Chain A
Amino acid sequence: MIKVKFKVNTEEREIVTEPTKTLLEILRDDLGLRGTKEGCGKGECGACTVIMDGKPVVSCLVLACQLAGCQITTIEGLSRDGKLDPVQEAFIEEGAVQCGFCTPGMILSAKALLMGNQNPTDEEIKEAISGNLCRCTGYIKIIKAIQKAAKAQRAALAPNTSGGTRKNRDQ
């Protein structure tokens, strides 16, 4: 057993665990954060995606012994004071969720993209979610939702420049 200290969303956590337990198992079983899903367990489906030190990773392939000092963001950490993240809002508004199993991972991949790119092209969005399988939606509404979230994020970041030029570019 080892002791690891790392941060999940806003909380510092210290847990005692098997060094080879996966981050996915720790989140779901030790910390009760069940928003992160297990699909394939082999890095292929993206259902278990979390943001680790600013980058999307598959939590099913990260082991406990690699977590010391890391910052992990899970789907539970996106809302602020009871208000959903713009990406979550956009997924609901665009109907980008059907069975919902891929959704937490999909949203975190989208969030990671939007943290570094405020104005992604459809191609960049497709690349960013290329590691997230969805068996229900056909992806079109997901891409639309991410574009919508990007737009909302730009508007929120530049509230005073909602003039003509920006609008034109967005259309």
Chain B
Amino acid sequence: MKVYSPETIEETTKILGKLKGNVHLLAGGTDLVVKVKEGTVLPENLINIRKLPLDYIKEEGNQLRIGALTSIETIHRSKPIRTYAPILSDAAGKMGSPQIRNLATIGGNIANASPAADTVPPLFVLNAQIVLKDQKGSRVIPIEKFFSGPGENVMRRDEILMEITFRKCAQSDEWFFSKLGQRKALAISKVSLAFRGKVNQNRLTDVSIALGAVAPTVIYAQRTARFLESKTFDSALIDEASRIIQEEASPISDIRSTSEYRRRMVGALLKQGLWELKAGVSPD
């Protein structure tokens, strides 16, 4: 195996452009090193990108830009993210353990393309854009177009994920991120749900819902989101939405849970989150 440790983006894309055979970028290593140890990935070329200047969180007007090498712990603790994308900070804080979050990067979480990646459902409801770069230039892909299957994404082999950008949330946005795992710390999600919307005069508007670990990739629950909008926000609406979202999800059975359990839990997570939201916004 050959290992490269480039110090600039230009050097990295040049190496990527030249190398034949399989190539793996190494960021925090919390997915890749485990796979190499288990023997499921046998890299011929490893490019250690740890030293690249992609560890930043920038505010630009109404946009936030997060460098791909920003650690999950930094994202969890970041003031601008807590203020303008609290759902992302919350989800980051629910990942792994402190020792994992300090190594793990957001770029790695996205590029790894697990349907259970915890930053991804929040990035769906934030309508995030992914910036990729190769030797010739950059391209921007909406997050929902980035994944092509479990562990698969649309990146070409000579591209690097540079940054993630999205619009700041308004103070009036309501949100929740719920994750169901085997236990509180160090648990990969069996099911996760990100919700974002507004409440006006007891009606929901601008609803966006994303589901993790119930389909080959993270998905939007569009039918449920449309159903929830502009109707009286009451218990009948919540019950019906929780039924519809179970139809929308297409979970698999695997070693972590059966599909029937996952489907029901999606309904339960939505119901619980909406009830808490309702209790938080209405005076009674």
Contacts and interface: CB of A to CB of B under 8 A. Distances in A.
B34 A63 contact: no
A65 B5 contact: yes
Contact of A65 (B34, B48, B99): B48
| Contact size range, A | 20 to 34
Contact of B103 (A22, A41, A44, A62): A62
Contacts of B65: none
A55 B102 contact: yes
Which of A20, A41, A112 has the most B CB atoms < 10 Å from its CB? A20
Interface string A19-51: 110100000000000000000011110100100
Contacts of B159: none
A131 B98 contact: yes
A56 B33 contact: no
A66 B99 contact: no
B30 to A, nearest CB: 6
B98 A63 contact: no
Contacts of A121: none
B3 A66 contact: no
B98 A128 contact: yes
B46 A65 contact: yes
B98 to A, nearest CB: 6
Contacts of B96: 43, 131
B46 A43 contact: no
Nearest first, the 7 closest Cβ-Cβ pairs linking A and B are: A131-B97, A130-B185, A19-B3, A55-B102, A58-B99, A131-B99, A61-B33
Interface of A: 2, 19-20, 22, 41-44, 46, 49, 52, 55-58, 61-63, 65-66, 68, 109, 112, 127-128, 130-132
